[in-house]
Amino acid sequence: MEFFEAVKRRRSVRKYTNSQVPDSVIHKAVDAALLAPNSSNMQTWRIFWVRSQAQRQKLVEACLNQNAAKTAQNLLVFVADPSQWQVAQKAILEKAGPNPQAQIVSYYKKLIPFLYSWRLLAPIKWILYNLMGLIKPTPRKPWSSRDIDEVAIKSCALACENFMLAIAAQEFDTCPMEGFDEPRVARLLKLNCRARVVMVISVGARSPDGIWGEQYRLPKEIVFKEI
């Protein structure tokens, strides 16, 4: 499907038919999700495809038993996990080989650990960023655990969009759900304390009554400005 057709096709589907979604469709969409842009290529995301019937039922309940979850053929959970930065950092440095460029060493061995460390460095970073900001334009974040979580959530959200567009391009449908009990989902997936559940995304073939009305967006002139 042509890209702009896929963008227009994607809708939040609240009810699905019993039509099966081939596993290959999910795998292809996950591959697209993993190509999403992300902060410093730290890939601070994890994707869980909940396939066990028992686990799936628990997830549906955690999603408040909404139709978008109950009638879906597949449920995937997209998680932002800041602790994943160390996995990506190690892999990137290994890929760079025994004699990596100085720029790579400086960025991934020095800057990245500084950016993602917060327990002892948080007050130091806050002071440093704001003092430097008095002299020249300076990024003021991340300095706290909340800031680092925000970076991971943004990256994960980009992966979610890639995934949904890839599903639409294969002529199936999705619904990104924020209506869920996050602690219950976290326990179900056995997540660590730093991980955040960004979205539960259902996948299936839309039912004729699965879309709630026509799509509406605010006029472009309200949200888009040229300055």
DSSP 3-state of 47? strand
Instruction: Let me know: does 194 contact 82? Beta carbons within 8 Å.
Output: yes
DSSP state of 22: P
CB 162: neighbour CB atoms within 10 A? 18
Element spanning 69, H or E = helix 67-70
Domains annotated for the chain, with CATH where assigned, are 1-171 (3.40.109.10)
59-83 tens-digit pLDDT? 999 999 999 999 999 999 999 999 9
Does the global pTM surpass 0.75?
A: yes
Q: What percentage of the chain reaches a pLDDT higher than 70?
A: 100
Confidence class for position 29, pLDDT limits 50, 70, 90: very high
pLDDT of residue 120: 79
> Would strands 74-80 and 45-50 be described as parallel, antiparallel, or unpaired?
antiparallel
Would you tell me the crossing angle of helices 53-62 and 182-189 to the nearest 10 degrees? Answer: 160
DSSP state of 73: S
pLDDT of residue 119: 78
130-188 tens-digit pLDDT? 999 999 999 999 999 999 999 999 999 999 999 999 999 999 999 999 999 999 999 99
Q: Is the pLDDT reported for residue 94 higher than 90?
A: yes
In degrees and rounded to multiples of 5, residue 215 shows phi and psi of -70, 135
Q: Is the pLDDT reported for residue 117 higher than 90?
A: no
DSSP state of 135: T
Amino acid at the residue 32: A
Compute the distance between CA of residue 174 and CA of residue 168 in angstroms, rounded to an integer. Answer: 8
Compute the distance between CA of residue 42 and CA of residue 53 in angstroms, rounded to an integer. Answer: 32
Length of the chain, please?
Answer: 227
Compute the distance between CA of residue 205 and CA of residue 226 in angstroms, rounded to an integer. Answer: 39
Instruction: Let me know: does 203 contact 174? Beta carbons within 8 Å.
Output: yes
pLDDT of residue 121: 84
Q: Which residues contact 153 (CB under 8 A, 6 or more apart)?
A: 80, 196, 198
Extended strands (E) in the chain: 45-50, 74-80, 173-177, 196-204
121-133 tens-digit pLDDT? 888 999 999 999 9
182-215 tens-digit pLDDT? 999 999 999 999 999 999 999 999 999 999 999 9
pLDDT of residue 165: 98
Which range, of 24-38, 74-88, 109-123, 175-189, averages the lowest pLDDT? 109-123
Instruction: Let me know: does 9 contact 56? Beta carbons within 8 Å.
Output: no
CA separation, residue 207 to residues 7, 25, 71, 161 (Å): 19, 18, 10, 22
CA separation, residue 98 to residues 86, 95, 160 (Å): 19, 9, 35
